[in-house]
């Protein structure tokens, strides 16, 4: 098995950081609202938003490098707005970043169509 290139390694790390920053944002929000702790939501939100944008930019960079199809990009974007969805994408990319329809099975699974 070949070693992933630096872009893939960076994407994998950012996907994990994005998930962690999401958890931190939820924790800051719960802490502020439920336990009357300091309001760290704006700071953590800015960090999470920045990591989110880097995740998307790296995803589009990988699309260009590996020729991912539109379905893969749709799943990548949708996973980024689902809580901890980037962890699922990270696992698929880590397994084989060069698959052009890397995440396509997630879209067509259960759609009632036969591969079309």
Q: Which residue has the tokens 């890397």?
A: 102
Return d(Cα 35, Cα 29) in angstroms, integer.
Answer: 10
* pLDDT score of 105: 61
* pLDDT score of 47: 97
Q: pLDDT tens digits for the chain (116 residues)?
A: 566 689 999 999 999 999 999 999 999 999 999 998 889 999 999 999 999 999 999 999 999 998 888 888 888 888 888 888 888 888 888 888 887 676 666 554 444 444 44
Total-model pTM: 0.80
H or E stretch covering 37: none
Name the residue ranges covered by the structural domains of the chain: 6-106
Q: How far is CA 98 from the centre of its chain?
A: 17
* pLDDT score of 72: 84
* pLDDT score of 100: 67
Are the beta carbons of 64 and 58 closer than 8 angstroms? no
């Amino acid at each position: 098995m070949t070693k992933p290139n630096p872009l893939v390694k960076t994407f994998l790390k950012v996907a994990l950081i994005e998930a962690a920053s999401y958890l931190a944002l939820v924790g800051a929000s719960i802490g502020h609202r439920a336990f009357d702790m300091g309001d760290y939501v704006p700071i953590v939100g800015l960090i999470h938003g920045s990591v989110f944008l880097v995740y998307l930019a790296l995803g589009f960079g990988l699309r260009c490098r590996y020729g991912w199809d539109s379905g893969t990009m749709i799943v990548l974007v949708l996973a980024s707005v689902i809580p901890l969805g980037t962890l699922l994408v990270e696992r698929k990319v880590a397994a084989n970043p060069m698959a052009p329809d890397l995440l396509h099975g997630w879209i067509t699974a259960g759609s009632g169509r036969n591969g079309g």
